[in-house]
Amino acid sequence: MRHLWGRVRPGLIATMPVLLLAAACASGLEAWRVARANGTIAALEAGTDAEVSPGAPPPVLAARVAFLAKRGRLDEAEPLLPGLEAGDDRADLARARYVLANARMRAAFGLLARGELDKAGPLVTLSRQDYRRALRERPDFWDAKFNLDVASRLIRDYPELNRTDGDELQSEPKKIWTDIPGQPRGGP
């Protein structure tokens, strides 16, 4: 045993500083990446635009999505979502979906205020989908639950009605219901 230790010891003494230096460099590089990501997040939250690559860390992508959604630039925010979906942090993905849904609801409320009901409908539908996706990622997300309820009350899902010629509408009797709360179903 003593003989083996005598043979291994000089090699260990020579390689140990190299390994420690490599570990220190790796730790320093990771600290630099974290500081850079935190700086980008702080700039975005302060209102300064910062370019973010789709391969950026999830918190940076979520901050960029929030920045773009707050300014109504939803077309630029959508391509960042696959980067969040690929990551392991489901809370950032839920938050990004929630922020996008809120931006769509704000746009829909603006259209409703101007009386453009036909344009507001698809935005409300898309926001409901995003609220549901946020809840799928984080079921305890109370704000998303509340906003989904508001969006669902704004535009209801009605049964599909088959149109025929003229003013006649045909539907299956099973699919007709009263949508007024408190009214009995069926009968006069």
Domain residue spans of the chain: 15-157
Query: What per-residue confidence (pLDDT) applies to 140?
Result: 93
Query: What per-residue confidence (pLDDT) applies to 159?
Result: 47
pTM (whole model) above 0.75: no
Residue pLDDT, tens place only, 94-134 = 999 999 999 999 999 998 888 888 888 889 999 999 999 99
- CATH placement of domain 15-157: 1.25.40
Is residue 114 a contact partner of residue 107, using CB atoms and an 8 Å limit? no
Q: What percentage of residues in the chain have a pLDDT greater than 90?
A: 22
Residue pLDDT, tens place only, 13-66 = 888 888 888 888 888 887 877 777 777 788 788 877 878 877 778 888 888 888
Residue 181 has pLDDT above 60, yes or no: no
Residue 170 has pLDDT above 60, yes or no: no
